[in-house]
Structure formats: C-alpha cells, structure tokens
Structure 1
Amino acid sequence: MEQATHDDGGPAPASSAPKPEVLSALTVIPAVGRSTEPAPAMLVLPGGAYARQADHEAEPVAEWLASLGIHAFVLRYRVAPHRHPAPLEDGKQALLWIRNGGHGLAVDPACVGVLGFSAGGHLAASLSVGVPTGDEELDVADAVPDLSVLCYPVISFVDSVHQGSVDNLAGPGAGVEFLEALSAERSVGRRTPPAFLWHTADDEAVPVSHSLAYAGALSRAGIPAELHVFPQGVHGIGLAEGTPGAEQWTALCADWLSRMWSLSPRRG
C-alpha cells in the first residue's frame, strides 16, 4: 500500500470525520508538555478477545504515553456481536480523524502510531498491513499507522489460534480463506510500518508464536522490528508493573519510540 503525503493545511477530507458512535468511543489524553508544538500521537486499542474492552489496557496506558510527550487516543471499538469489518472500520476512522486534526490538538500527521494488546494487537496489526474494509473512503494510505506497538498480540487466525477472538470477529465456522485474510502475518509487505512487539514465553492464552510470526514476516520484508520475549508473565498483564522481566517493556518501548520519533529520552 502506498503511503500518501500528509497535508497539515486546508480542509480535512470527508473521510476524516468519524461516525458519531466512533467519536463517542474515543478518550483523548493530551501529551504532557506539548501544548503548542506538534507531537506524535498514538491510537490505543485495548484487548478483550473482540468480546469486551480491558480497562487496564486503556486509559492507564494512554496516561503513560502522554507522559512521554505523545497524544494518546483510546478507542473502544465495536466488538461481538459485531463482526469483521466493524472493529477495523472504527480503527481506520479514528486514525483518519487523529491524523487530520479534528480533535484540535497539535498532532504531527506524519507521526501517528497504533498500540494494541491481545485482540487489540490483532486490530493494530490489521491496520498496519492494510486489511481492507471494502469502504473506499476508509481503505486509504492515511488510515495506515506510521508504526505499531503490539503487546502479546493475536496475529494469526489459522495457526495456534485464540479461538475466542476468531469466533467473535469472524464468526463460528468461518472458512479458511477468510481466516487467512484476517491473519496479519500473511499480509505483511514492504509498505508495512515498523513494529515493536513484546510477549511472554509462557503465555498460555495467546502463544508467543504469534509475535514471532509477525516479527519474522517483517524481517523477511525488510521492515524494522524490535521483539522482546520475556520468560514469565500471564496473558493480559498490561503495563506489567510488578512482573519481573516483562515490567521492562515500557522503558524499552519508550527508547524505541524515542529513536523512531526523536522524542525526549524519557522512561516509562
């Protein structure tokens, strides 16, 4: 997918205005100390197996990002009984709105990323590889993030699957071809943005093979990727405070974002 040139001036395109229900599902937490200077922005996607939203993977994560000088936008996207492409439509609308400035914050439109946990990580990866919705106003380059942070993500819908996410997004009995199309590792290309991934080796809900598969696909495509696999930690630990090893992920991610976006070298 070709990346469009981002234009910070002039009226925003019609597709940048999200539907009212998407707008009402967004929580905005402005960057600390970046009131007038354009700052990067991150769309935060909590996990929950496409059945619910995990609160500890939402606003607390956005507040951490804001402390790094990043505008954070938490999206509570549609989940079951809604099926694909409903969550993807919500994510693309949110990215377009963030990039085109409808919120009134000083966002650098060339520095808009996405951060997702578990099923939210699947949605973040789907946005990154350009999985289509079938809506030409949404399936555009500006709806692809400039980088992604994937936290114990669901990636594949055909290998070592998280059955709850599969059933909730694709529906029970979905065909193999459809499931392959929703497997992000199979759609990575040279236009896919860089990614930071972390997982725990003993995650029994979503095996570490998901992160390994996506990182491997990025590597084969020549896309920069940073992957951290920590020995211990149950699935769904969010910021991982108090979890030996995994609690380092915020500092490691802050360093990576600093390198990617030339942020001040703050720590999470």
Structure 2
Amino acid sequence: MPNGHNEVPFSDVEQAIRLVRQHAAEWNINPAKVGIMGASAGGHLASTLATHYTSKETRPDFQILLYPVITMDANFTHAGSRENLITKNPSADLIAKYSNELQVNAQTPQAFIALSSDDKAVLPQNSINYYLALLKHNVPATMHIYPTGGHGWGFRDNFTYKRQWTDELEKWLRDGVKL
C-alpha cells in the first residue's frame, strides 16, 4: 500500500514490466506482447501504468481491467481506494493526475474491460468513462458489461458470467489484440 506515498505503486508496476522485458528470452516471453491486468484497485494501478508510463520499456502493450477503479472524482470513485492512494484531502492536481480517464491519449495501449452493471462498490461510470476516453483517442477497446455480479467476481466459480467473460478474454487475446 502507498501509505501516503502515491508514487510507490506506480514505481513498483513499472519495475515489474521492466523485469518481465529484461527476462523475456529466459522466460520465453515475447517482449513486444507484455500486458497488464488488474481488478478493482488493481485495475486503477493497471490503467495508471497504461496512461502514465515513462518509457517505451515500461509501456504495456495491452491492458485488461476488471471492474476497475479509474477516476479519483469523488462523485464516482471508490472512496477507500482514493483515500489509500491520494489521502483524504488531495489537491485538485492530484485528483486530476490519478483520474485516468483524463490521462488517455493516442498512445494509451488497447484495453479489454469487464464489469457488472450492478456494481455498487466501483460504479460502472469508472469503466464507461475510461472506455469513452479510449474511443475518443482511437485506442482499440472492448468492454463487456454483465447485468449482475456486483463487485469482486474475478475468478469466482459462482459468478454467473464466468464462462462468458473468460471466453471473451481468451478470444480477445487470441484474435482481438492488435500488436
């Protein structure tokens, strides 16, 4: 956890991408096909890397976001995620910096986004506004919204749409990712 140091998670995730690319040959990974996946607050970290990366080496080639926290706008964000990352009383600049829907540009990597429309913990506006920002900048994006499931379904076997979302993700990774 950042413990008041909002740059720590980002620094860690950039180092993780560097590490994967540095060991790509050893690990039999294509260094040009390295992505990031995150759910909920982890989705915020993944989308932060996708919109704030500092070099070609740390830019993910794609992002997979499950019911992600995207914005720090108090009207739509997950309050606990916001407080843990940027404190209870952040500056307007910090709110804007970590509202990733505001940071999308044409170099943002393509995205696969999945969520439930009945998510009360992380409101669907997080994903929808990010998706619209991606489209505005002509970034390839796929979004799947399931009618039920709430928050945190991830790989739960009892999630009604588990088979659908995992099949869609597999298809997207196989056929839809434009690398």
Tell me the TM-score normalized by structure 1.
Answer: 0.63
Matched, 1:196 2:112: yes
Q: In the superposition, relative to structure 1, how do residues 99 and 171 fare at CA in structure 2: closer, same or farther (>3 Å)?
A: same
**What is the identity percentage for the equivalent residue pairs of Structure 1 and Structure 2?**
33
Aligned to 1:235: 151
Structure (1 or 2) with the greater helix fraction: 2
The secondary structure found in structure 2 opposite 1:179 is helix
Shift of 1:103: 8.4
Distance 1:202 1:83 in 2: 32
After superposition, the C-alpha distances for 1:49-100 in whole angstroms (9 at most, x for unaligned) are: xxxxxxxxxxxxxxxxxxxxxxxxxxxxxx1425211000000000011012
Shift of 1:226: 0.4
- Equivalent residues of 1:119, 1:165 under 8 A apart: yes
Two-structure CA RMSD over aligned residues (Å): 1.7
Which ranges of structure 2 fall in alignment gaps of 5 or more residues? none
- Equivalent residues of 1:83, 1:171 under 8 A apart: no
- Equivalent residues of 1:239, 1:247 under 8 A apart: no
> How does 1:1-268 map onto structure 2 within 5 Å?
79-101=1-23, 104-130=26-52, 139-158=54-73, 159-260=75-176
Tell me the TM-score normalized by structure 2.
Answer: 0.93
Distance 1:94 1:216 in 2: 28
Distance 1:211 1:247 in 2: 21
Distance 1:221 1:102 in 2: 30
The secondary structure found in structure 1 opposite 2:32 is strand
The secondary structure found in structure 2 opposite 1:97 is helix
Distance 2:7 2:64 in 1: 21
Number of residue-to-residue matches in the alignment:
177
The structure 1 segments of at least 4 consecutive aligned residues displaced by more than 4 Å after TM superposition are: none
The secondary structure found in structure 2 opposite 1:94 is helix
Which ranges of structure 1 fall in alignment gaps of 5 or more residues? 1-78, 132-138, 263-268
One-letter amino acid of the counterpart of residue 72, structure 2:
F
Larger radius of gyration: 1
Shift of 1:241: 2.1
